[in-house]
Chain A
Amino acid sequence: MNLSILVLLPFLGAALPPLAERFKASRTLLALSAAALPALALGLMVAPGRRVIDGETVLSSVQWLPSLGLDLAFRLDGLALLFAMLVLGIGLLIILYARYYLSADEKAGRFYAYLLLFMGAMLGVVTSDNLLLLVVFWELTSLSSFLLIGFWSHNSVARKGARMALTVTGMGGLALLAGVLLIGQVVGSYSLGEALASGDAIRASGLYPLILCLVLLGIFTKSAQFPFHFWLPHAMAAPTPVSAYLHSATMVKAGVFLLARFYPMLAGTNLWFDLVTLAGMATLIWGALAALFQNDLKGLLAYSTISHLGLITLLFGLNTELAAVAAVFHIINHATFKASLFMAAGIIDHETGTRDMRRINGLWRYMPYTAVLAMVASAAMAGVPLLNGFLSKEMFFAETLQSDRLGAMSWVLPLGATLGGVLSVAYSARFIHDVFFNGEPVNLPKFPPHEPPRYMKVPVEILVALCIAVGVFPSLTVAGLLAVAGTATLGGTLPEYHLSIWHGFNVPLLMSVIALVGGVLVYSQRRRLLQWHARLPEINANLIFERAMQALARFAGAFSGVLRNGSLQTYVAWLLAVVALVLLSQVRPHLLNGERPLLPLDGVAVLAGAMLMVAAVITAILHRHRMTAIMSISVVGLVMSLVFVRFSAPDLALTQLSVEVVTVMLLILAMYFLPVRTSPESGALRVSRDLILSVVVGGGVGVMAFAMMTSDFTSISGFFLENAKPGGGGTNVVNVILVDFRGFDTFGEITVLGIAAMGIYALLKDLELTSPRSDATGRPWARDAHPLVLVTISRPLLPLALLVSVYIFLRGHNLPGGGFIAGLITSVALLLQYVASGVGWMRYRMPGDYHPVVALGLLLAGVTGVASWFFGHPFLTSTFDHIHWPLVGDFELASAMLFDAGVFLTVVGATLLMLANLGKLSLLDDKGGNAGQIGDVGERGDA
């Protein structure tokens, strides 16, 4: 049967409890709904499990992302089977336990859902046959444990603990990803099987040290190895079932699982030995030491977990096959006794309302049954004979004696191991003696405590039974499973070993004895030790971590605040600086000696050029005297159009001229409404910076222009000159290009105009501005809104102007002119009416809303374009025919002219939509008795 279904089951199961909750299921029913699918998975595993015991390796694979080498490939070998059984088996016990642990008002549905998500992720980790897939599940365990640890999200400790765990393990996961990708590079595949097979290649490759460090970073963070152990105790803020699950059989075991899984791939080198053994040793002792000094029941268990993980890591580090087997064995044992201990602690917490060992004493009298269970379990933890912990401890001691990697320093390992043993005995003793004896309870929140509900004890009983069974009859119980798991771990043949309680008098036994006796001695000195410890400065990792994070965030905020300082001037400076950089890096003097002959100078041009430059500079310098600036900039505009005339671009000249008029109107409006500011504001530093930028950019562009003008080139324009008349039906090539060859540009261009008008209309809607009574120099604006002269001149001008624009429009296709210019002339003429007679007067004669005009213009242009479809041509294909028209003469009537008419309409509509609304804007002020209209402004502008 397919393994992927097996892994999928818990994920599917995660959906059931919330559903059940929605239907108001009882707590028992909820627990059942949660247990259903994991149980099924466990059942389904029996069949393949048998084959595995018989030495087979069950594989199954479904394609997911072959081009990444990421497939849903799963493998069930001894190691995977062992862990899968732990994950599912203990998981089920946890669900049963949680049924009684969670109080009625808690969102049990969500809790089980998270738990099952985690279970599925864990199952995936241990059964993946694809390295990338393994990383996927690995990160999923981090994410789901984040949800579990933070389950009591109202509690700040839980939130912080969850975030810390996510950050640390998440970081490790990313490192692992990098490591796995490198392995993939070396092996050429992400299949675990192939990777395991090519261990030598990996160890030989130059990337090996990097790979090892990255992978170990992932492992150590997950398994809380020193110095990444600090997150684990804070994960205890989670509900106890979670702690019992994550920190006995699963989450933290994922790390050591990976040590086992990658053993054939990465182990066997001195680097491996040094890194893994030392980290393990440090963790073993540090954890045991810290455990001894905890006053919190769960805290003690948390640190003892760290210590035992260190032990397992150390074993893997020793690079001997037997050590690896011992490690696997201890994984099993630790899972069983630690899970039961956490549950026992949970029961005590549940019954007494506290976990403080300074208050919980002498519970023997109140809950003897639980006491017995807890005592057996902690005895196993201490490594007392006849219990499973003893066996693996014994092997551990033996192995530390074998290693000679450290040469003369080899004695360090057994010494450290014994010390660890001593301490673990000591804290186990404390767990038993402090809690169940050692006088009377000290004002417990719940008193008197009594035994928990029957079924809350069942999981503990089962696990404790296992501890004893394994401890007494190892060969009958665990041997088989351990054998296959060991074989899978080593990826080869199993070394010679026999599990038995009695190996005769030997050094390991001596070490065990020392550990037991020494532990008891240490415990007897606990008072002095605790006093000594109390005097030490307390380090709260949680606090430090939070502070660090906050500081980091604050720094980040400040830093990006400096970059993104909200000043447009800075941003513009950045942009121009980049441009300046490009120019400085590329513009070279040799650009100035182009091959093309220069046109002869002539006085007029020089004069005009000089005028333009002076005017531009004046605008730049005197921009604070706004009226002056406007006048000078209009001079620039006018000279521009002269330049266009001079260099044979009449259309441009006309356009420039008409645009100029409207622009000036706009500028004057801006000046009129914007506050007048005459005081220079910027410091010399900024001015010089800006000057440098302007000189570099301006100069650079100038040089490029010169280089361009003086270098020869061949262009596609010949085609336009040839085809304008035959193909486009017009002699004014520029206009033909606009409405025909590149009509699509024009289509876009008038769209821009239309949108601009829309946007402006939207901006002006219900905008209120106060119009000043006088201008910058304090001269009052003209009172006379509509001077008679202007009115009398402008009214007759209108029909005339319209006539002109019609003429310009019609000739446009053949002579300078065209829809755009005609449009602008018309709008200027109409605007003049606004100017002269005021918005009020116009409103009776013109539509108030020009949106439709714009729309019609665009539509006309667009429809003309689409029309050509019906003649089987692409968008905007033009056609034309000769006709004779009185007055205007003989010319082609081109469909492009319809398009041009669209341009005309759009231009008129857009211009009026903008300016007429600006006029309305100023009309608002009339109520204030102040005639601040385009009229007055326009008049001044022409002055």
Chain B
Amino acid sequence: MADVDEFLASVLPPLTAADTAIHNGDAGPRIALWSRTDPVTLFGALQIKSGWDEIAPVFEWVASRFSNCESFEYEVLAAGASGDLAYIAGIEHTTAAVGDAPAQAYQLRVTTVFRREDGEWRVVHRHADPVPDSELTHAQLDRLSDAPRDR
């Protein structure tokens, strides 16, 4: 196995920064973290997208809906790395505002898969869904109404 600690040390800071940014309206860091090489897949909190051309607009839309990210914490449940592939299974704890609503805490459980390209870890797959029975999370996702919903 590749060094999982090294992998986590490499990806967690930019991942946390990117998720904080997207909840403050800036999709740029999230987009920068993703691979451009298909197959890339998004099993988002509200829909499925496959291929970079489909995925990038989803991130732009998510950023356009969120603001006022008061906190973002990445809780790593498990992680592994082998060769040029690696993954994190975790829970994303976010407090941010959708539209004009006040900032609200919500949680997504997320599996993220990375591929190393030219020495840099890039995301090739994201699977996110609300932690079951998490009412606040469903309420927050409900606020993402009026457009293709995703994370």
A and B found bound together:
no
